[in-house]
């Protein structure tokens, strides 16, 4: 699947779920504090949401963010995934997430996040209903956790764990790429 097909696939999932929940574009846009025009562009595959946008959308629609990875690619072994079999989401803001888990139906999910230099999860804090943690594979990840005065910068082999509904955001403030393995429950 190429990038445009992935963007269109995400657009369809968001639009269909919004309609299934009987929400108008205006109602959902208001709940996520974005414009109707922006949300309309996301649902038509013209714009890509940030990580913060997709997290807010998933929370408002009552699904985990991993719901949007639901379109499986064919696998030779059901409990193993190989690079060519993984579902990928390309966000605005320079972040690409690759679903590393063979399924999202288990007790946890794994994502490999690629952050381009200067990439950010978005201006607002994420509020995900999932407990999550991460392990920095390469580069640097800066985390802002609401209630903490200063951000924390993590490097290779550093890890973190955040409780459900933690208010946070993250970025790669360097001029080199960053890769993080995320685990969600």
Task: Give burial (CB, 10 Å; 0-12/13-18/19+) of 149.
Answer: exposed
State the architecture of 3-69 in CATH terms.
Orthogonal Bundle (1.10)
With a cut of 80, say whether residue 158 has pLDDT above it: yes
- Distances in Å between the Cα of 65 and the Cα atoms of 68, 72, 155 are 6, 15, 25
With a cut of 90, say whether residue 149 has pLDDT above it: no
pLDDT confidence of residue 9: 83
Comparison of pLDDT for 124 and 23, the residue scoring more: 23
Average pLDDT of 66-74?
Answer: 67
What are the residue boundaries of the structural domains of the chain, listed by start? Answer: 3-69, 83-184
State the architecture of 83-184 in CATH terms.
Sandwich (2.60)
Tokens of 85: 């079999």
Q: What are phi and psi of 176, to 5 degrees?
A: -130, 155
Task: Give burial (CB, 10 Å; 0-12/13-18/19+) of 169.
Answer: buried
Q: How confident is the model at residue 23 (pLDDT cuts 50, 70, 90)?
A: very high
pLDDT confidence of residue 53: 93
Is this structure's pTM higher than 0.85?
Answer: no
Instruction: Tell me what the pLDDT averaged over the chain comes to.
Output: 89
The Cβ of residue 176 has, within 10 Å, a number of other Cβ atoms equal to 11
pLDDT confidence of residue 73: 58
Partners of residue 95 on adjacent β-strands = 115
pLDDT digits (tens, 9 = 90+) for 112-139: 999 999 999 988 888 888 899 999 999 9
Residues 182 and 132 sit within 8 Å (Cβ to Cβ): yes
Average pLDDT of 48-54?
Answer: 92
With a cut of 70, say whether residue 1 has pLDDT above it: no
């Amino acid at each position: 699947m190429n990038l445009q097909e992935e963007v269109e696939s995400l657009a369809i999932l968001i639009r269909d779920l919004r309609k299934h929940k009987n929400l108008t574009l205006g109602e959902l846009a208001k709940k996520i504090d974005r414009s109707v025009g922006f949300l309309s562009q996301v649902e038509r595959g013209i714009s890509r949401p940030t990580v913060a946008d997709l997290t807010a959308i998933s929370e408002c629609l009552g699904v985990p963010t991993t719901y949007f990875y639901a379109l499986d690619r064919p696998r030779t072994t059901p409990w193993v995934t190989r690079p060519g079999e993984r579902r990928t989401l390309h966000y605005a803001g320079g972040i690409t997430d690759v679903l590393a888990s063979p399924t999202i139906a288990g007790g946890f999910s794994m994502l490999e996040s690629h952050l381009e230099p200067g990439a950010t999860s978005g201006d607002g804090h994420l509020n995900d209903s999932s407990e999550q943690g991460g392990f920095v594979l390469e580069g640097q990840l800066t985390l802002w956790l609401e209630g903490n005065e200063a951000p924390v910068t993590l490097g290779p082999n550093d890890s973190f764990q955040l409780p459900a509904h933690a208010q946070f955001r993250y970025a790669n403030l360097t001029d080199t790429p960053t890769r993080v393995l995320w685990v969600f429950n």
